[in-house]
Amino acid sequence: MIEIDPKTRRMTIRDGERVETFTLEDPRAFEVLSSLWMRSAWETKYLYTFTWFGRPIIQLPDDMFRVQEVLYAQRPDVVIETGVAHGGSLVFYASIFEAMGSGRVIGVDIEIRPHNRKAIEEHPLFSRIELIEGNAIAESVVADVRNRLRPNDRVIVFLDSNHSYDHVLAELEAYAPLVSVGSYIVATDGIMKDLVGSPRSQSDWGTNNPFQAAQTFLASHPEFVLAEPSRTFDESDGANVNVTQWPGSWLKRVH
Ligand SMILES: C[S@@+](CC[C@H](N)C(=O)[O-])C[C@H]1O[C@@H](n2cnc3c(N)ncnc32)[C@H](O)[C@@H]1O
């Protein structure tokens, strides 16, 4: 049970015998609030309300801000993303590349619906986007992606297609070798582990999720570590809480 008293600005958490009280400026209060907010955002489909340069993008804006920070800091040559849907995230990466003057985006989806394909292909930023239709873990699709890379391309990968444990693990194995040292492969939507019991969740999400797949992958791939991008600006009062759909999702290639 969580109680919030706006007058005293105090949060009380009761869990059986355990009672904890924080003021609202305590980062722990922010952490609890943001995790509740995240759950409510999921349940109300808040994430399905945004567009980027005209295309629907199914992401939390906070996560996209962090992605922008990484793309600006690292200036990769190529973003690979599995899971295109309406194309909003591809257009997001492409818009940052356009502003920086270089970079291209390779998007893979098992089904690119004709109206989405048309809108993406007609988009002003399409010159920076390449589409591949097929199962992201099919050998032929992975080979197609690999063949589009040039020697010395700096590559970052976002996995945002099928979020089951088996699929994400297979994607991690297939796409991790393409990631440049110092760059990332992001097994998005690690939040699923925290959404069990929510109306739009499945009962097995506690283990059948990208977070768990990332953990398994890390255990046998010492060339990667779990590392959220460090903040490029932080004048907060030590509130080192990330409001994110992607907890435990950023895997950095260290060698
Ligand atoms: C969550 S949506 C992607 C959202 C998009 N990245 C964005 O930010 O707007 C997931 C997409 O993954 C695609 N998908 C599902 N299974 C797939 C698979 N095995 N291979 C490739 N794409 C897949 C679906 O067709 C769907 O378009």
Q: How far is the CA of 160 from the centre of ligand 1 (A)?
A: 6
Could you tell me the CATH superfamily of domain 51-253?
A: Vaccinia Virus protein VP39 (3.40.50.150)
Q: How far is the CA of 83 from the centre of ligand 1 (A)?
A: 3
For residue 255, what are the contacts with CB-CB under 8 A and spacing of at least 6?
Answer: 181, 223
Tell me what the pLDDT averaged over the chain comes to.
96
Residue 208 contacts residue 202 (beta carbons within 8 Å): yes
Q: Model confidence over 157-194: pLDDT tens digits?
A: 999 999 999 999 999 999 999 999 999 999 999 999 99
Q: Model confidence over 93-145: pLDDT tens digits?
A: 999 999 999 999 999 999 999 999 999 999 999 999 999 999 999 999 999 99
pLDDT, position 40:
94
Q: Where are the domains of the chain?
A: 1-44, 51-253
Q: Calculate helix-pair angle for 88-100, 61-74, nearest 10 degrees.
A: 30
Of 4-8, 73-77, 94-98, 213-217, minimum mean pLDDT range: 4-8
CA distances to 83, 87, 116, 118, 165 from 111, rounded to whole Å, are 9, 12, 10, 13, 20
Q: Which atom of ligand 1 is nearest to the CA of 92?
A: 8
- Cα separation, 199 vs 148, whole angstroms: 41
Q: Does 238 have pLDDT greater than 90?
A: no
Ligand 1 pocket, Cβ-based, cut-off 6 angstroms? 57-59, 81-86, 88-89, 108-111, 135-136, 160-162
Q: Which atom of ligand 1 is nearest to the CA of 86?
A: 9
**pTM for the whole structure:** 0.97
For the record, the structure tokens of 85 come out as: 């849907």
Strands (E), the chain: 2-5, 10-15, 18-23, 51-52, 55-56, 78-82, 104-109, 129-133, 155-159, 184-187, 224-226, 250-253
Q: How far is the CA of 85 from the centre of ligand 1 (A)?
A: 5
Q: Model confidence over 17-51: pLDDT tens digits?
A: 999 999 999 999 999 999 999 999 999 999 999 99
Q: How far is the CA of 66 from the centre of ligand 1 (A)?
A: 21
